[in-house]
Amino acid sequence: MNTPAPGANVVYQDPLRQEQSRKKARRDALIGMVSLIGFVVVIVFLVTRSSGWSAVQNTFFNGDQFVESFPTLLEAFWLNVRIFLIAEPLILLIGLLVALARTLRNPIFLPLRVVATLYVDVFRGVPTILVIFLLGFGMPALQLQGVPSDAIFWGTAALVLSYGAYVAEVFRAGIGSVHPSQTMAARSLGLSSFQTKRYVVLPQAIRNVMPPLLNDFISLQKDTALVAVLGPIEVLRRAQIDTSSNFNYTPYVGAALIFIALTIPMTRFADWMQRRSAKKRQAGGVTA
């Protein structure tokens, strides 16, 4: 017998049990695969045999149309990417500043607190597309000197204002998630209220809200398409033009695929972050 002595500092598993559990895992994987393939076959069979399928295929999944429009869609998508890359850092900055302003307790900061609260209330309460209409058509109409009249500028500004309000609430929730005993410990060391936020509360708050922040990133990637209503030729607008010139909806499907190609990896990443932080909180719960 080569079973280790009881209490030995090793990891020991019965080889027979290991073999059994490996077998079970293999069998479970096989059953899952077969079941999934069967399901897909049935669905494909039913869909392609239905009477309207050839019309659907021709209108939405037309290979020629796809090949023709996809490169122009990709090119137009570059504008969405640029809007996103410019908006996101500004959103994070505004969100963080607004969230911090709302936590200030000193009476001298009352105006800041009021403005921050109003901002969140207003921009969270108004549909994003309405903000885009208001700023995108309204601001250029003022014809003020020094105020840009560019649709992309105002579309991006509207996204920043709208998402800034959401992200501010995410940050505020994160700040609230840090236990008050952390603040007490920092203050008891003589750290000022500002130092306590800067070194103790915020780093933990930001770590706690990474998953919901990523979700808002994903949303924003999609909502860059809303800027289309102002006229700039980004991917949705491009698809719309291609669609109406050929009376075929394949470009819309192409645009959808482009968005999905970007958002699915982000979603998986957000899920992974969420699981990791849940695990971390479990492991470090007692000492923290």
Partner 1 sequence: MTSDPYLRVDSVWKSFDEHPVLRGISLEVLPHTATVLIGASGSGKSTLLRCINGLETVDSGSITIDGDLDVTAFNTDLDAVRRRVGIVFQSYNLFPHMKVIENIILGPTKVLKKSKSEATSFGLELLTRFGLESKAVDYPDRLSGGQAQRVAIVRALAMKPDIMLFDEITSALDPMLVGEVLDAVRELRAGGLTIVMATHEMNFAREIADNVCFLKDGIVWEQGNPGVLFGSASRPETQAFLSRVV
Positions in the binding site for partner 1 (CB under 8 A): 181-182, 184-192, 195, 199-200, 203-204, 207, 283-284, 286-288
Query: H-type helices in the chain, by residue range?
Result: 15-49, 53-60, 63-103, 110-125, 128-142, 151-177, 180-188, 193-195, 202-223, 235-246, 250-284
Q: Which of 183, 201, 235, 211 is nearest to 77 (CA)?
A: 235
Closest distance to partner 1 from the beta carbon of 196 (Å): 10
Closest distance to partner 1 from the beta carbon of 166 (Å): 25
C-alpha torsion sign, points 273, 279, 285, 288: negative
Residue closer to partner 1 (CB basis): 173 or 229: 173
Using the structure block, give the residue that is written with the tokens 């840090």. 178
Closest distance to partner 1 from the beta carbon of 57 (Å): 54
5: which DSSP letter?
Answer: P
Residue closer to partner 1 (CB basis): 152 or 186: 186
Residue closer to partner 1 (CB basis): 134 or 206: 206
Residue closer to partner 1 (CB basis): 145 or 188: 188
Q: How distant, in Å, are the alpha carbons of 248, 274, 284 from that of 64?
A: 11, 41, 56
Closest distance to partner 1 from the beta carbon of 207 (Å): 7
Residue closer to partner 1 (CB basis): 13 or 287: 287
Closest distance to partner 1 from the beta carbon of 204 (Å): 5
